[in-house]
Amino acid sequence: MHPKVLLDACAELVKRTLTFEHPADAVVSRFFRDNRGLGPRERATLAETAYAVLRQKLRFEHLARSGSGPKERRLAILGFHGPRDFLKSALADQEKTWLDQCDTVTDADLMEPHRHNLPEWLATPLKAQVGADFWALADSLQQNAPLDLRVNALNAKRSEVAAELKKASVKSVATPYSPWGLRIEGKPALTKMDVFARGAIEVQDEGSQLLALLLDAKRGEMVVDFCAGAGGKTLAVGATMRSTGRLYAFDTSAHRLDALKPRLARSGLSNVHPAAIAHERDDRVKRLAGKIDRVLVDAPCSGLGTLRRNPDLKWRQSPQAVQELTAKQTAILESAARLLKPGGRLVYATCSILPEENEAIAAAFTATHADEFEPVDAAELLTQLKVEKAASLCQGPVTGGEYLRMWPHVHATDGFFAAVWTRKG
């Protein structure tokens, strides 16, 4: 594709993503469907350019003020993902001069918001929470996330999958915390490989894998994944149960559960029972009250721990939206807790980095259910499971000690939180 045509396409995609009417990944997918003639390299340039603008929106908007022409074109030039000489061949002389001037700007020349590229309502509580780590966290949130795989322990071994990937010229390293994880370089076409087709691997962030580890579901148990979504954690839990017992995958979205079906077919699991529920007080839920051994509540949340993958969330979320989510999180946790039998385990988790969605929800639940539920120290739990390195995630200056806390700048995972309780009696 001619450089000028590709840059025009980048500008158009940037314009569409910046309306924030739909998630960025959906906007990009729609753009590709509307422009089926695009090759893989052009698609990569388009997507990475749009995501670069979302990641560094405040910085690029600041620099764009000194340029001329349509704003989305200036932003696309600043975020362009590709060789600099290729880009410059698409520019007018005035634009080349402006771009060279932008290249001389350093972090020291910029105000704080143009460096951290976070809305102030998010930057302020993060500074309060992580203190001196703030700039390391802000920088990590502007990076691309690595691609993590979970090896299906039901039918594959991590070392064997790694060797198979290596034969296919896909480099991988074992994840440091999850015993099932592999971190791979680049973005290979995994879906076209036999190792994917036969269900030996699933794409899943290492932090997400650890939630299944914390739940520690056993053979033959009755287990509920209360907010299953597309089922990544459901499949991990099913594998720890060795496809025995009964694992309910509940979600209020039948559409999300539909995405689980092909993954479930590949996995070889026969103990998973997906069920769409109307709300957390659905009759399906009430019928199981007091009968369940373990419940995982991966609650609907702001998703701000996934900003490396979904940078548009920091512009699409708001304090009001977070407030609404915390009310929903509290209600869901209350309903899910009723499912447990005496001695049963409850795990509450989010992929948020905000304390009001995490520690605040967990502390409030502990306080209001002191007679029924006993908090479990996540570090001790992981140590008992002989995952000592993962147990270290529950300690440190930016954790609550008894909770699991994962941070992109410390652990190279998405931001995750988890709290654990046992039902008394």
Low-confidence ranges of the chain (pLDDT < 50): 396-400
Q: Which helix (H) or strand (E) holds 148?
A: strand 147-151
The residue written with tokens 């998630």 in the block is 23
Taking only Cα atoms into account, the Rg of the chain, rounded to an integer number of angstroms, comes to 23
What pLDDT score was predicted for residue 397? Answer: 39
* Residues recognised as catalytic: 351
Beta bridge partners of residue 173, listed in sequence order = 183
Q: CA distances (Å), 179 to each of 220, 240, 386, 390, 415, in order?
A: 22, 12, 10, 10, 19
DSSP H helical ranges for 35-106: 40-55, 57-64, 71-79, 84-88, 93-103
What pLDDT score was predicted for residue 389? Answer: 67
pLDDT, one tens digit per residue, over 121-152 is 999 999 999 999 999 999 999 999 999 999 99
What pLDDT score was predicted for residue 186? Answer: 84
What pLDDT score was predicted for residue 381? Answer: 86
Q: Is 348 helix (H, G, I), strand (E, B) or coil?
A: strand
What pLDDT score was predicted for residue 380? Answer: 84
Q: Is 272 helix (H, G, I), strand (E, B) or coil?
A: strand
| DSSP-derived pairing of the beta strands 246-251 and 272-276 | parallel
pLDDT, one tens digit per residue, over 148-203 is 999 999 999 999 999 999 999 999 999 998 999 999 988 899 999 999 999 999 99
Rounded to 5 degrees, φ, ψ at 285 are: -70, -45
Tokens at 345, concatenated: 């385990």
Measured between alpha carbons, how far is 126 from 133 in angstroms, rounded to an integer?
A: 9
Entry pTM: 0.94
